[in-house]
Chains A and B, each alone.
Chain A
Amino acid sequence: MVSNIIISQKEDCSPFEDVRAIKGEEAILSTHQDYCIDESKLAGGYADWLFFPKNERDIISIVNKMKEDKTPITISGARTGIVGSAVPTCGGAILSFDDMKQVKGISYDKDTQKYFVRIQPGLTLEELADILKYKRFSQEHNLDEEDWVQAFKKVERGHIFPVDPTEMTAAVGGSIAANASGGRSFKYGAMRPWVKHLRVVIESGEVLDIERGQYIAVNSKFIIKTSEKDIEIDIPTYKMPEAKNAAGLYAKPDMDLVDLFIGSEGILGIITEVDLWLIEKPEVLTNALFFKTEEDAINFVKKLRSIENLDIEYIEFFDKNAFNLLRSRRKTNPELANIDTIPEDTTTAIFFEIPFSDDTFEEIFVTLDEIATESNTSVDSGWSALDDNERDKFRKIRHAVPEIVNSIISKRKATYPNLHKLGTDMSVTDNHLQDIMTFYHQTLKETTLEYVIWGHIGDNHVHVNILPKNMEELDLGKQLYKEFAKKAVEYGGSVSAEHGIGKIKHEYLEIMYGEEGVEQMRSVKRKLDPEGLFNRDNVFSFTG
């Protein structure tokens, strides 16, 4: 029965001494320093404990003991996050998911006619992709009596998990906590809709077993009954942007409880088990088209996404500066050899993927030919690929841009060790795509700053990368970043469409939801975790 009341489960826990752990700040810093930092390179992480639980029972034991000792816990996935959300700046304990990579099973939901996998959250997206690709399931993986393993293996095209953040070494748990997304989120959304079921250990050391669809808010409230008390949670009242968004807690009056935990950056509890929906691998045609002007490219994008039956998988964008970066390296990087085959007057590229079958192929071609011509380009000068090897060439070219940016910055770091690139992560609503692009270019062109723009244009979510040449330029870039955030919010968007807020973007969250909105999030945290046991200083600062 659907309800807004959930009763937490009291489960057994392991003896604390049996949990694999490293004790002592010195020991951790000397041999496991990388657990104190993530890809944000945010400094200042340290810890007294580093735990490697193997299962939920170990986690409950850690939570009970740390609560008793008043020691805060920072939850650690694969630490590929770039907002410092897994960096233990408050010290205490790190709880690593390295030893929780088990695949528990696979099953099939007859109502939705879809397969789902049950896994521990430490499994990485890459590992999950391989397990699905090679169908590494045996009889023990049947979650119920019926032999779905056998049936799953018989599906010739195979299955995939469709959400594709660029960094596939990210763990599933971290990706759920961050509500990560990728190019394909244009069609499939972020992690959120693919989470069918979660188990979460909360501060009381008890477990919430949350099946999507079972716990729905009533009058903007959830009630969580633990063995000690009833916790009443008021859902924040701010209105979330109608654009891709990974900033702050999910909040809607009639929301599902599972959505409160997805994207919460681990501030409300520890995810210990996950069920994820799968889809049959679609047959797709991957394409790149090249344009003389950015306006043409944006027009093409608008047309492409307006034709619903094309069912586009993703649409990615490279601006003139990004393109020039690729051109500058084409002689030294063999993977960029094909750049030479592109018409000379190209300034902008759009990469996109379309599902097809033998019956629809011709029709798709005709449609694309038409809108390409309307956008002053031609399908004859573009690229297409049908198989995975060929697709890989596209992927390498797309990934080359951020790699070149990073290599330029690391050279400049030799002179200015504290220099770093500034990468925006903002989205806007569909109708403001051209507006925000114009704003980015105009604002940046008034300065001397070097920049490139690329990213998920299908979702109106491009990454502006500013490459400062010195510390003054870095400061200037930071000011612009704030301007961009304000503008994105003005255009109905998010200050963080995919990377989250973590410990380094608090001020932007406030631009988006105001002080009041942040305060409402804080009060959800206080209700569920009054002492600040989990992930202090993520999303907003912890005030004891």
Chain B
Amino acid sequence: MKIVVLVKQVPEADKVAVDPETGTLIREGITSILNPYCEYALDEAVKLKNTHPEENIEIITISMGPPQTKMALLRCLELGADKAYLLSDRKFAGSDVWATSTALKEGVVNLEPEFDLILAGKQAIDGDTAQVPAEIAEQLGVPQITYGVKVQIVDKKVEVKREIETGYQIVSARMPALVTMSKGSNIRRIPSMKEVLNARKKPLEVLTADDIGIDENKVGLKASPTQVARIFAPPEKVGGEIIDGSDHIVAAKNLLEFLIVNNYIKE
């Protein structure tokens, strides 16, 4: 069984800042990490591999990004992926969600046509659209299940526990299918020394658009129907109101009054 995990390298979220004058990202000093939700997706794949030895699961990670994305892929190999592909080419630059999805779909079709399951993060912590996996599923014509927290393989089907507003839902689909992962019970694990060593011996291939036979008119800026008009930091929140808690009865009264006055609750 083959599980493809789509992974994206992103700037570390809490450190990203927007230059208020130019409206561009301040990149100096920002380190790049493996998108946490992609890491959870990978961890879920590794769990499946460990719990289903009979399936002989192979985990393949694919990413599209600049050459330094190799670092994120190396991390995937440390955490248990068996092989990694990086789609890296100037022709991909400026891709929006649609073009990104096209490139990744072409990557999957060309590199791992026999895939059984695709796992992806529920969203990337930088772009945050949560649309890429959905579009890939559409382009591939496979079922998709989003916001998964636990994935199981039951009777050749994929069974996913997924988050919904009011709790959880369990959904299953025939394979091949695509599942996006939320956090679930996964953590961002620190690998062992052996895993770190072994990762450096696993295959990590960097491929261009030509290598996988992607039509260059389907990807990159030209093939992107949407454009980012402007990015800006949200206005800073003003400090809240602090209610003196030294007398709890008075404090409770004041809090009640505050909630009523501001229309948060009705009398």
Contact = CB atoms under 8 A, between A and B. Distances in A.
Interface of A: 130, 133-134, 285, 287-288, 337-338, 340-341, 358, 361-362, 365, 368, 379-390, 393-394
B139 to A, nearest CB: 32
Contacts of B29: 130, 133-134
Contacts of A388: 31
A358 B201 CA distance: 11
A338 B196 contact: no
A341 B189 contact: yes
A45 B136 CA distance: 66
B241 interface: no
A384 B188 CA distance: 13
11 contacts: A134-B29, A285-B196, A338-B187, A338-B189, A361-B200, A382-B192, A385-B196, A386-B78, A386-B196, A387-B71, A390-B75
Contacts of B194: 365, 379-380
A341 B32 CA distance: 24
B82 to A, nearest CB: 18
A388 B71 CA distance: 11
A338 B74 contact: no
B233 interface: no
A368 B187 contact: no
Contacts of A361: 197, 200
A383 B188 contact: no
B192 A383 contact: yes
B196 A384 contact: yes
B33 A389 contact: yes
Contacts of A394: 190
A358 B82 CA distance: 20
Identify which of A134, A288, A381, A389 gathers the most chain B CB atoms within 10 Å of its CB.
A389
B28 A341 contact: no
Contacts of B12: 389
A361 B196 CA distance: 10
Nearest to B197: A365
B31 A389 contact: yes
A390 B196 CA distance: 12
B193 interface: yes
Given A389-B31, A389-B33, A337 B196 contact: no
Contact of A380 (B31, B33, B192): B192
B48 to A, nearest CB: 18
A368 B193 contact: yes
A394 B193 CA distance: 14
What band does the interface of chain B fall in when counting residues whose beta carbon is under 8 Å from A? 20 to 34
Interface string B32-63: 11000000000000000000000000000000
Interface in B185-208: 187-197, 200
Contacts, number: 63
Nearest to B71: A387
Nearest to B196: A384
List the 8 closest A-B pairs by CB distance, nearest first: A383-B190, A337-B187, A384-B193, A379-B193, A384-B196, A365-B197, A338-B190, A389-B33
A383 B191 contact: yes
A381 B71 CA distance: 23
A131 to B, nearest CB: 12
Identify which of B32, B189, B190, B200 gathers the most chain A CB atoms within 10 Å of its CB.
B190
B239 to A, nearest CB: 23
Contacts of B33: 389
Contacts of B187: 337-338, 340-341
Nearest to B32: A389
Contacts of B28: 134
A395 B189 CA distance: 15
Contacts of B74: 386
A387 B73 CA distance: 12
Interface string B1-41: 00000000000100000000000000011011100000000
A318 to B, nearest CB: 15
Given A384-B192, A387-B71, A388-B31, 7 more contacts: A288-B190, A338-B187, A384-B191, A384-B196, A385-B190, A385-B196, A389-B31
Contacts of B75: 387, 390
B101 to A, nearest CB: 27
A292 to B, nearest CB: 17
B131 to A, nearest CB: 26
A40 to B, nearest CB: 31
A290 to B, nearest CB: 11
A388 B75 CA distance: 12
Contacts of B31: 388-389
Interface string B67-89: 00001001100100000000000
A134 B33 CA distance: 19
A381 B192 contact: yes
A228 B71 CA distance: 63
A186 B40 CA distance: 37
A62 B191 CA distance: 56
A337 B192 contact: no
Nearest to B199: A386
B230 to A, nearest CB: 27
A287 B193 CA distance: 7
Contact of B193 (A341, A365, A389): A365
Nearest to A358: B200
Contacts of A386: 74, 78, 196
A220 to B, nearest CB: 49
A43 to B, nearest CB: 27
A388 B192 CA distance: 16
Nearest to A334: B187
A385 B12 CA distance: 17
A341 B33 CA distance: 21
A288 B190 CA distance: 10
Contacts of B193: 285, 287, 365, 368, 379-380, 382-384
Contacts of A285: 193, 196
A76 to B, nearest CB: 28
Nearest to A392: B31
